[in-house]
Amino acid sequence: MKKQIGEQITLFVCAVLLLSGCATTGNPKDPIEGFNRAVFGFNDALDQVVVRPVATGYDAVLPSPVKNGVANFFGNVADVFIAVNNLLQGKVPEAAGDAGRFVVNSTVGILGLFDVATDLGLEKHDEDFGQTFGRWGVGNGAYVVVPFFGPRTARDAVALVLDVKTDPVANVGHIPTRNTLLAVRVVSDRANLLPADKVIEEAALDKYSYIRDGYLQRRRNLIHDGNAPREQDD
Amino acid sequence: MKWLFAMVAGLVLAAGVSAQEMSPDALIKSVTSDVLDIVRKDKDIQSGNTKKAIELVEAKVLPYFNFTHMTKLALARDWRNTTPAQQKILTDEFHALLVRTYSKALTEYKNQTIDYKPFKMQPGDTDVKVRTEIKQPGGKPIQLDYYLEKQERDWKVYDIEVGGISLILNYRESFANEVRQSGIDGLIQSLQAKNKSGEAASVKK
C-alpha cells in the first residue's frame, strides 16, 4: 500500500508534466489552471463531505489538552524527518536542535505528548524535501494541485514522493496501526485548520486563486527560512 | 496546508495596531495589546459575533491603516488605468472586504501570545518593517510582520505578512485576472457582490 501511494504520485506527476506541455491559461505560474481547478474541486468536495465533518466532530468532542497532545505527538515524530532535511540543507545546528527536540520530547515529554523542548528554548522548524530541493536551487516549476494532498509546485510534487516514503508514520509496519495513525493525523491537522475556513470564505474573491497564491507565497518564505525578499511593489 | 492556519492566527493578531507620533514598533505593540485585551474579556466576540468585532476594529485599528496604499498595491499596474472615481470605489470596497476578514479572524482568537522582535530604524526612514511572532501550543511560531510608512507625522500600516504571506499581495493575481477579463468596472462589481453576500451572511448570524 505504501509502495502504491509512492507509485501513484509518481505516475500523477508524470501525467501532469506531460499535460503542462499543452494546456495554457495566461498565468505563467499556473499553466495547467483548468486541470488544477478540477482537482481542487475534487479535493474540496471530499473535504466538505468527509474530512471536515469528521474534524469538526473531533474538535467539538475532545478537550484542548487532548487535541494538543495529539498534535504534539505527530509534531514530535515529524521532528526526525525535519532533522534529516535540515541536515541535507547543511543546516547542522538546526538539525541538532531538531534531534534534541525529539530526544527531550520523547522522554521528558512522554512520547511526544508534551512539547517540553519549546519551553526549553529548542525552536520547532518546518522542513520537507520540497524545501530541501528549493535550497539546492531547484526552481518551483508549475503550480499543481495533487489529488488528496492539495497544492504543490512541480518540484514539491516530485518531493512529495520522498516525503511519503520517508514519513515515519507511513512506515509503521503494522498495517492497521499505520492506517489508524495516518487517519488520526489527517483529522488532527484538519481540525487545526477549521478556524481558517471561515476567514478564507470571507476573504477570497475566488477561493482557488486565493489558496494558490497564498501557497506560493508561503513556500517562497519557507525556502528562505522566513527571510524572503519582498516582491516588487509596483 | 498549515500555512492556512498560520494565516488565520496571524489575522487575529494582526487586527491590532495605535497612537500618533509613536515609533512604529511602539505603535504596533500598543494597538495589539489594546485589541487583544478587549477580545479576551468579550464573550460575544469570542463566540463569533462578527458585528461587534467589526466595531472594535473600526474604532481601534482602522485609524492606523492606509487603505489607499493597500488598494494600490493590490491593483499593481492596473491602478494607473483607473479614474479617481474608480479609485475611490475600489478603495472603499477593498476596505470593507479587509475589515470583514479581520473581524472574522478576531472572533477565532484562542489565547495565542505575541513576541516582539528587536526593531531597528534609521533616523530618516519612512518605510519600515516591524517583526513579531505568534506563539501557540503544539506548533511552530508564526511570523507576523507589519509594513509601515510615514505620512507627515504619523505611521500607517500598508501591508501585513503572515508566515510570509502578504495579505494584500495575495489579491494581486485574482484582481489582475478580473481586470483582464472584465475591466476595472468588472473588478468593482465583483468586489461589491462579494461584500454584499458577506454582509448578508453576517446579519443572518
> Is B202 inside a domain boundary?
no
Q: Which helix (H) or strand (E) holds A150?
A: strand A150-153
Ranges A93-97, A110-114, A154-158, B139-143: which has the least confidence: B139-143
> Is B97 inside a domain boundary?
yes
- Kindly report the pTM of this predicted structure: 0.85
B62 touching chain A per CB within 8 A = no
Inter-CA distances, B150 with B68, B123, B126, B129, B156, Å: 14, 12, 5, 12, 6
Task: Report residue A36: phi and psi, to 5°.
Answer: -60, -40
Q: Torsion angle of alpha carbons A215, A196, B198, B39, nearest 10°?
A: -130
Q: What is the pLDDT of residues B132-172, one digit of tens each?
A: 998 876 667 889 999 999 988 889 999 999 989 999 999 99
Q: Which helix (H) or strand (E) holds A87?
A: helix A64-88
**Angstroms from B197 CA to nearest CA on chain A:** 9
Contact pairs from chain A to chain B, CB under 8 Å: 114
Beta strand spans in B105-162 (E) = 113-116, 127-135, 142-151, 154-162
Instruction: Give me the count of residues in chain A.
Output: 234
**Angstroms from A216 CA to nearest CA on chain B:** 9
Cβ(B205)–Cβ(B48) below 8 Å = yes
Percent of chain B with pLDDT over 70: 86
Closest CA to A141 of A20, A14, A15: A20
Q: Which of B142, B145, B172, B174 to mutate to test the interface with A (most CBs of A within 10 A)?
A: B174
Domain CATH code at residue B111 = 3.10.450.710
Closest CA to A181 of A76, A57, A64: A76
Output helix, strand, coil percentages for chain B, rounded to the nearest 5: 60, 15, 25
Q: What is the pLDDT of residues A18-67, one digit of tens each?
A: 555 444 457 889 999 999 999 999 999 999 999 999 999 999 999 989 99
B194 touching chain A per CB within 8 A = yes
> Is A233 inside a domain boundary?
no
pLDDT of residue B18: 42
Q: Which domain holds residue A117?
A: 2-223
Cβ atoms within 10 Å, residue A28: 9
CB contacts of A68 in chain B (<8 Å) are 137-138
**Cβ–Cβ below 8 Å for B7 and A199:** yes
> Is A81 inside a domain boundary?
yes
- State how far the Cα of A164 lies from the Cα of A171, in Å rounded to an integer: 9
> Is B204 inside a domain boundary?
no
**Angstroms from B123 CA to nearest CA on chain A:** 22
**Cβ–Cβ below 8 Å for B141 and A150:** no
pLDDT of residue A169: 94
pLDDT of residue A19: 56
- Dihedral angle sign, alpha carbons of residues A106, A110, A114, A120: negative
Q: Which domain holds residue B187?
A: 2-197
pLDDT of residue B11: 66
- State how far the Cα of B19 lies from the Cα of A173, in Å rounded to an integer: 59
Residue in B4, B77, B191 nearest the CB of A200: B4
> Is A84 inside a domain boundary?
yes
Q: What is the DSSP letter of B154?
A: E
How many domains are contained in chain A?
1
Residue in B165, B175, B191 nearest the CB of A217: B165
CB contacts of B138 in chain A (<8 Å) are 67-68, 71-72, 75, 115, 192
**Cβ–Cβ below 8 Å for B139 and A124:** yes
- State how far the Cα of B30 lies from the Cα of B26, in Å rounded to an integer: 6
ipTM for this model: 0.83
How many domains are contained in chain B?
1
CA A220 distance to own-chain centroid: 14
Closest CA to B40 of B95, B93, B112, B105: B112
- State how far the Cα of A68 lies from the Cα of A23, in Å rounded to an integer: 44
Place of cell 469528521: A54
Cβ(B180)–Cβ(B77) below 8 Å = no
